[in-house]
Amino acid sequence: MRKLDYERAFDVLEDCDRAASLPDFKEQMVASLGTRFGLRHVSFFAGATFHNVFGDHAPLTEGNTEKMLPEYQERWSRYDVFSTPAACRQLVSSGVSSLSELSKVGALPASANAYVRHFLQATWGMETAAAMRLELPGGHTALVGMFDGCADKLGPSELSTLRMVSRQLSAISRGLPVTRSRAALAGLSDRQREVVRLLADGLSNAQIAETLSLAEDSVKKYVSRILSLTGCQSRMELALLARSRA
């Protein structure tokens, strides 16, 4: 691999390693592919299993993938070229599959060929298409779609680089809180976590104050600050969040 390829790999990992939560990871992953590989048309689909990924109703989209989404969901998701057995084998074994590689393996199924010819190429002018499979928290799966109008946008070197980082990216994403609220909860101070624990146990502000030897006004300030940090709208929502994390 070239020096540029290693630099790209390290840059992508550094970009994504800054994520505090899974939503942050998705955004930073898509942005990094644009910055490091010049890919402007990127999507991030997620699902409980590999085959559920293609039915994601609210994927993250960038560039023309946002405009492509309604027709894709209505007509083409079941025929996606990256849901074919050949693509699945590549994605499971190496983390990345590309249209150029699939075309060399053998003829595509008629439905997948129609998806490529009529949807990707004729309608949207996408000559490059590739996907990266990532592992998410709870055993879920993500598929990052990468598209471009230039046929050689992702050559052998670029695909090798993406394969090199796919496993490390999965290691990063698997350990992230699934929401920004959970990430914020994990970042609370020890005293703030004590307040949350007691609140989740059903204690009132007065009871929390007595337990922690604090003034009740101080507890009110703690609770208000914690609600602000986590984005929770009520004590009940905060308690449910804390219990779901336990």
Identify the pLDDT of residue 242: 85
Question: If you classify domain 3-174 with CATH, what class do you get?
Answer: alpha beta
pLDDT at residue 150, as a whole number: 95
Taking the C-alpha atoms of residue 231 and residue 215, their distance in angstroms, rounded to an integer, is 24
For the chain, what is the mean pLDDT?
93
- Average pLDDT value for residue range 30-46: 96
Q: Delimit the CATH 3.30.450.80 region(s) of the chain.
A: 3-174
- Residue 51 burial (CB count, 10 A): 12
DSSP string, 119-133: IIIIIT---EEEEEE
Distance CA 170, CA 10 (A): 15
Report the range of poorest mean pLDDT among 19-33, 124-138, 203-217, 229-243: 229-243
pLDDT at 245: 59
Residues of the chain with CATH 1.10.10.10: 180-245
Q: Please give the average per-residue pLDDT across 191-210, as a whole number.
A: 94
| Chain segment 131-190, per-residue pLDDT in tens | 999 999 989 999 999 999 999 999 999 999 999 999 999 999 998 988 878 888 888 899
- Closest residue by Cα to residue 134 from 170, 177, 91: 170
Both tokens of 72, joined, read 């894709």
pLDDT digits (tens, 9 = 90+) for 68-123: 999 999 999 999 999 999 999 999 999 999 999 999 988 899 999 999 999 999 99
Per CATH, domain 180-245 is 1.10.10.10: yes
CA-to-CA distance for 115 and 146, rounded, in angstroms? Answer: 15
pTM (two decimals): 0.81
Half-sphere exposure of residue 27, counting CA atoms within 13 Å on the CB side? 9
